[in-house]
Structure 1
Amino acid sequence: MARPAASGRAMPSPELMDRLSTMRFVPPGARATTGVGERASRTSGPGMEFADFRTYRAGDDLRHVDPRSIARGDPFTRKYVQRRQFVVTIVLDLTASMMVQPDTKAALATGVARALGFVALSGQDKVRLVVLEGENGIRRSPLWQGRTRAPDMFAFAEPQIEAPRDREDASKRDASASLAAALTELIPSSDAGSLIFIVSDFWEADVAVALASLASTPATVTALHVLSASERDPSSLGQGIIRLVDAETGRERDMTIDETTLTGYRAALGRHTDTLVESLSGWNVFLPVDAEAQLSDVCLERLPVAGVIA
């Protein structure tokens, strides 16, 4: 059963989509390699936009040979710019740890994924979604192209699971929805024309290893690390003995929150974040995102400042 995410956070508003429709991905190290789109590629061939001349070679299409150069006895062939597309893959984590706060973490993550997908469709790039869900495992969309496919993309991103209510619900979740496995699956097809966005809290153990392997491919990887206020700093929970429940496994643990515990948690979170950052090299981007942030602020301020869109 689908649980509607918080309105205004999970769906870009018409005003935001109007702004996003004029924005494009600007990955400095990537190059479009497939299809027919808006982006000038490094290859030349049939096209409408003149690029340069080169010396005639046997077998060249005579329609592209400059007639004046033939008259001079030194034929040249016209080269044209090939317009290509990026293949944009958006990995949206809606597993149990994200759905604990469906109106903050899950809603914002869904909204960001939809906004990124809309930028891709507006720019004539190809886009697909990989959605991780505890009960439904991993859902993979087809490749979409063109703004007319935006409703299909928006619908596919809608969470299809209920937020976990108790330990029994959490224990029944499908362990196959592994972020590390989803990232590993992308590695063989990740080339210089691949833009990969991962929207997650990255709480899965050893996910940094898979992230580093993906970042070592020619693809451009952007990791958006979505954490709630209590995850960034548990001091908001107060002090004393509290019972914690692991959203992924349903395991319970009583813990005393005091200054020593908080100091240890902050240090562990810092190490975990540093590991994620270090797993991304080259042109790849790591972007911390507050789950309480407004979707428009993330799209129009954080992403442009990070050099993701312009």
Structure 2
Amino acid sequence: MRPNPALLEQLMTAKLVPSLAQPSVGTGERRSRTKGPGIEFIDHRPYQPGDDTRHLDAYVMARSGEAVIREYALMRQVPITIVLDTSASMAEKRDVAGQIAQVFGFVGLAAGDRVQVAAPRGGALHLGPRLQGTQRAEILFDEIATAEAGPALDLTPLLRAAQSQRGLMIIISDWWDEGLAAQLPLAAAAGQEVLGIQLLAPIERDPTALGQGVMTLEDQESGAEIDVRLDSATLSAYTRAVTSWQQDLGQTFRRFSWHFLTLGTEDPLDDFFLRRCRGLGILT
């Protein structure tokens, strides 16, 4: 599993554009709100005993006689966490989901941000190493490609690890699990911005290909089976239910000033990243 090299080349100079997440860690390429030693001048403030005299502005002192310190913006990184859902319902969508995760992760690395992958290992969500720079891209790709099948996503460990960091969390899932949506307010309370990617198979978007008649359907998560009569009324009810669920999710994301995007496994990823994500201002 590897993303298209031509797509990565086109995204080499792209950058994720968070709505709320802040550059808060490391040394990077984004201007932070924190002041300190740096190269981008932003303001003066009065000199105070104990200040580093190397930051005194000699020109202002010569002109006004006042001792002032030059202040600079610290250039820092946005902490980005790529969360990959590998629960049972994602089994047939796993390869495409992994490629989406790899591309988003690569964009973060190329832009100088700090990227971590959260994917199931050993039956629990595992947070991988902190990575930065495109020279670490293969490590990121492998973290995603070797993720194991896991249970429904529990974001609690990630939110605990992300305390005090206003980071960006990109969750790639089919979002069929209502428990995942229920955790979004917790992510907001923890100061996280969530970019939700809903990935659906063609049959999930349009089940008419199943035909009509009595069929036994199996819940991929629980294994429970149910006999359903598929007819035009049932298929219409399904379409309404899916549309309503997506609208509810979208409203939740909009309430927090986040983005929620739906795509199918058959949709071209070039179009998704280069047109849709850029058109919505998610990527530069």
Q: Does TM-score exceed 0.5, indicating one fold? A: yes
- Distance in 2 (CA, whole Å) between partners of 1:191 and 1:290 is 35
Distance, in Å, in 1 between the alignment partners of 2:231 and 2:101 is 37
Aligned equivalent of 1:267, options 221, 240, 246: 240
Is 1:148 equivalent to 2:135 in the alignment?
yes
Contact 1:192 1:218 in 2 (8 A): yes
Preserved contact between residue 192 and residue 220 of structure 1 (Cα < 8 Å): no
Establish whether residue 290 from structure 1 lines up as the match of residue 264 from structure 2: yes
Q: Is the CA contact (8 Å cut-off) linking 2:109 and 2:132 kept in structure 1?
A: yes
Q: Between the two proteins, what is the percent identity of the paired residues?
A: 36
Contact 1:197 1:223 in 2 (8 A): yes
User: Match of 1:302, SS?
Assistant: helix
Q: Alpha carbons of 1:190 and 1:305: their partners in 2 closer, same or farther (altered >3 Å)? A: farther
**1:119–1:136 Cα change, 3 Å:** same
1:117 counterpart letter in structure 2? G
Aligned-partner SS, 2:183: helix
Instruction: Give the CA deviation at 1:190.
Output: 5.1
CA gap 1:275/1:207 in 2 versus in 1, 3 angstroms: farther
Q: Deviations over 1:192-239 (max 9, x none)?
A: 630110000011133221123213443221100111121112112111
Work out whether residues 66 and 77 of structure 1, in 8 Å CA contact, stay in contact via their aligned partners in 2.
yes
Q: CA separation of 1:201/1:125 partners in 2, compared to 1, >3 Å: closer, same or farther?
A: same
Instruction: Note the C-alpha offset of 1:65.
Output: 0.4
Question: Relative to 1, partners in 2 of residues 1:160 and 1:129: Cα closer, same or farther, differing over 3 Å?
Answer: closer
- Partners of 2:78 and 2:9 lie apart in 1 by 21
Counterpart residue identity of residue 258, structure 2: N
Deviates more, 1:52-61 or 1:76-85: 52-61
Aligned-partner residue type, residue 126 of structure 1: R
Higher mean C-alpha displacement, 80-89 vs 27-36: 27-36
Q: Secondary structure of 1:144's match?
A: coil
RMSD (Å), alpha carbons: 2.0
The letter for the 2-side match of 1:36 is T
Q: Distance in 1 between matches of 2:189 and 2:252?
A: 9
2:19, 2:88 → 1: CA distance?
34
Alpha-carbon deviation of 1:158? 0.7
- For structure 1, the 5+ residue unaligned runs are 1-9, 162-172
Query: Which 4+ stretches in 1 moved above 4 angstroms?
Result: none
Give ranges in structure 2 of 5+ residues lacking alignment: none
- Structure 1 residue 93, shift from structure 2 partner: 0.8
Equivalent residues of 1:25, 1:120 under 8 A apart: yes
SS in 1 for 2:85: strand
TM-score (norm 1): 0.84
